[in-house]
Homo-oligomer: A and B are copies of this chain.
Amino acid sequence: MFYDVNEDKLKEECGLFGVYSHTKPISFLTYLGLYALQHRGQESAGIAVTNGTVTNVKKALGLVGDVFKNCLPELESQYIATGHVRYSTTGSNLVRNTQPLLVNYSGGQLSLSHNGNLINANELRKELENEGCVFQTSIDSEVIINLIARSRKSTTEEKIIEACQKIKGAFCLVIMTLDKLIAIRDPHGFHPLCLGKIEDDFVVSSESCAFDTVGADFLRDIEPGEMVVIDKDGLKSYKNSLQGTLAKCSFEYVYFARPDSNLDGQNVYEARMNLGATLFKETNIKADIVISVPDSGTPAAIGYSKASGIPYVEGLLKNRYIGRTFIQPDQKNREASVHLKLNVVKSLVKDKSIIMVDDSIVRGTTSARLINMLRAAGAKEVHMCISSPPVLFSCYYGIDINQGKELIATVKTKEEIRQFIGANSLNYISLEGLKSSIENTKTCTLCAACFDGRYPTETPCEKNNKFIFEADKK
């Protein structure tokens, strides 16, 4: 793909889904749930099911639709299923790194799916290797599983809690044993995890949007530091074993989560409209029209339009047919094909002053191209409004930010960026504006480390915390 709007976006790590039901088509529900969570990871997908005796897992590189093109994993009398979609922030993008990770250990069989990044995975891995452990993958999940297997505690629940007390960083886990579905959210609450019900049966999901897709009702968020265990006796909650400061990822609200999800009580679409409204209040720029960089910039653009009274129109349109197969063009033809994925509706933008709203700027190349296209179509002025502050720092909790030259804000001043993208003005929302738009409470519980560098946990000693296991080649 020679030109991809999404290329210029930060990447989220993973999406989790689980269901416990003796009567529902649980493989199919998990498949639907993963479809709803596909935006959280497009590199691999997997589903594991158990009937209490054996576990069947099917996982591969690719989108949910591709991985399960021919069939879903199924077992006679199956009643617990768990699924995972992944973008690889740790571990290479290899088949063996796909999840759920299924193992046999002294306690029977166990499948584990993980969303987030540990900050002490490498130290733990080395300790375990020194004690004779072997590792077949380069994902944090295998470290967690080995900690569980080596725990001397007597119950599965205690083993898992003991393991979770050793790991540090961001982790939402969905674990399936032969008779239990277990969901844990780290005490900081970096990433979302919630609980739902279909009739009398429980489901867990990274985001509430998956509940709509499978016809489930949202019950509540799983609390930071909470472990929820679903088995034949119903649902049990374990709290207070894991402690930490609240630090919910701001970028889930800005870009990652689906707008129709509610995270910890806040609807994402509304949060984004608030960001747009705040952006107008802070910048107070007037123009003829508000447009968005579709699709992620649209809610903030509509929020800006509503707050300012400036009409919102679709000045940029996406081609809905551009798929994953695209012949690589000759060098000389690259430029000609810029308009393939996004096109300007010329008559809407001609002779207009324009406010263009996007959620973030990573490398700035897409912004530059789009502004160029708008000007070629006759736009009079283009004011770029960004519904998040400049991204300046690495994330250790599951977002793929490589500090350095890829982040334009770390190497250029705001004025230099404005010039680079060719805008008449460049406007970021303030950090305070961001926080107040997402949360109306006085005590802010957001992690904004990528904006201000204030990490809510200790940080890894090594600069590069990607575990170097092997070549990334396939």
29 contacts between A and B (CB under 8 A): A25-B333, A28-B329, A29-B336, A36-B340, A38-B321, A54-B470, A54-B471, A65-B324, A65-B325, A66-B325, A69-B327, A71-B327, A75-B471, A101-B136, A103-B135, A104-B134, A106-B129, A131-B132, A134-B149, A209-B343, A212-B339, A213-B337, A213-B340, A215-B337, A215-B339, A270-B347, A270-B348, A302-B314, A312-B312
Contacts of A75 in B (CB 8 A): 471, 473
Contacts of A327 in B (CB 8 A): 28, 31, 68-69, 71-72
> Does residue A9 face the partner (Cβ distance < 8 Å to B)?
no
Question: Given that A344-B260, A345-B260, A346-B260 are known contacts, is A336 also in contact with B134, CB under 8 Å in the complex?
Answer: no
B135 touches A106 (CB 8 A): no
Contact residues of A between 278 and 337, Cβ < 8 Å to B: 295, 298-299, 302, 306, 311-314, 317, 319-327, 329-330, 332-333, 335-337
Q: Which residue in B35, B101, B332 is a CB contact (below 8 Å) of A321?
A: B35
Contact residues of A between 92 and 127, Cβ < 8 Å to B: 95-96, 101-106, 109
> Does residue A58 face the partner (Cβ distance < 8 Å to B)?
yes
Interface of A is mostly: mixed
> Does residue A87 face the partner (Cβ distance < 8 Å to B)?
no
> Does residue A411 face the partner (Cβ distance < 8 Å to B)?
no
A269's nearest neighbour on chain B, judged by CB, is B345
> Does residue A433 face the partner (Cβ distance < 8 Å to B)?
no
Contacts of A133 in B (CB 8 A): 105, 132-133, 149
Contacts of A298 in B (CB 8 A): 314
Contacts of A90 in B (CB 8 A): none
Q: In the bound complex, how far is the Cα of B346 from the Cα of A314, in angstroms? A: 23
**A-B CB proximity, top 7 nearest:** A215-B336, A132-B150, A267-B347, A38-B321, A103-B134, A106-B129, A54-B470
Contacts of A69 in B (CB 8 A): 325, 327
Question: Given that A135-B104, A333-B25, A348-B270 are known contacts, is A314 also in contact with B299, CB under 8 Å in the complex?
Answer: yes
